[in-house]
Structure 1
Amino acid sequence: MVIRVVVADDQAVVRTAFAGLLGTQPDIEVVGEAEDGAAAVRIAAEHRPEVALLDIRMPGLNGIEAAREIIAASGGATRALMLTTFGLDEYVYDALTAGASGFLLKDATFPELLHAVRVVADGRALLSPDITGRLIAEFTRQRIAAPPARSVEGLTTREVEVLVLIARGLSNGDIADRLTITAHTVKTHINRLFAKMELRDRAQAVILAYELGLVVAGAGGSGADGIRAAGPDAGR
């Protein structure tokens, strides 16, 4: 399958560089370049790409708003991969709630760029500990003030455990090792968890875990080591 990608960034150098690198791959086709969010939305509506690579901050319609419109118009068929820098970390939570499937730093290497696009196109979420584990812990704690609309009442104890470990950035294999169960069983728990809580991907699962208070920021830590899991009854 050829992965169709639209690249949107108001910096021509960045936009052209990313598009040029992606265009060297036989399994990736850049269907359009956009200098702002509005243009990205138009191109995405015309070409229905598998991935929209969007700079978070752009003039006019920003990347987060563009992601929301593109995902909604495509019924989730187009996945949003956000371009960010450490200086713009405050936008990470907003991007996740808009439906973004992952994040990529603007100084990412060529292999990291290709990996990110392929992972997101495959329907998986790109949640590296460097970006999500540390940043979401910090910013969701600041932003989630109202009681959560959902609870874990319908989840089994094991499903809650799996949700917490997803939010801590563990892969299916890591979760299987941690809980001493098979990878197939982990996948079964995840499928049931996603169905019950109406989650699309791991990005939404991370948001849910933080909103419910199942995962909170640890004191003085960062990344996976700076996150501690609350008990199964937290957030009810």
Structure 2
Amino acid sequence: MTQHERQLEVECFILACRLLMQSGAETYRAEDTLLRMAASQGYTEAESFVTPTGILFSTGHGHPIKIAQIKTRSIHLDKISRINEVSRKLSSHQITVEEAYRALKEIDRACYFLNQVWQILFSALGCGGFVILFQGTFIDIPSAAIAGGLGYTTLVLFNRMTKAKLFAEFAAAIVVGLVASFAVNTGIGLEANKIIIGAVMPLVPGVAIANAVRDLMAGHLVSGLSKGAEACLTALAIGSGIAVSLSV
């Protein structure tokens, strides 16, 4: 095997792991995928250390360590499914490393999100549904939908302008609280708490909390604690934004 072929294999393994982490997968899933792909190509002594911000990988004792940085993280469940499909095909020798690498590159370039206008629309509709789920009244559905839609719009705009996730979530929560208070004070809505609870649901870090717990249960203490801390900071930003808006 040439040096180029060996390097391509390592790049393919790390790319799959990095894409999984960037798409919101659990750390143990990403590390298991990385090691399974490596073992399928003969690297049975491969070692890895994966965190939410970086990957350390070596094909075995005495071999150099490859480092990859993870700069962004979001939720792409469809992308996770496609990456797992590629890794399974490679592990079962249905495709070659070159084909797997090309497929992963295509997944990396592809955009699986809907247009942001549709994202805002569906977020608003979901917020209205959550009002009923939390035993609210049908009268509060329009208010929750408007508050949730405006809050998600604020999140998107502030993320684009500041690149500061916590500040964007804080601003979005303020908008949700102000809209809910306005709706109740003008008689459009009845229960501000139900409107607020329904409207903040798109901001709640549910997947991050679930991943943090699953990583802790799998023994990945560093990843579990860091993801849990990130989720707690998001919850703090949401709660602080609602408190500020209600106090105003």
TM-score calculated relative to the size of structure 2: 0.24
Which has more helix, going by share of residues? 2
Between structure 1 and structure 2, the one with the greater Rg is 2
Which has more strand, going by share of residues? 1
* Larger relative contact order, structure 1 or 2 (CA cutoff 8 Å, min sep 6): 2
TM-score calculated relative to the size of structure 1: 0.25
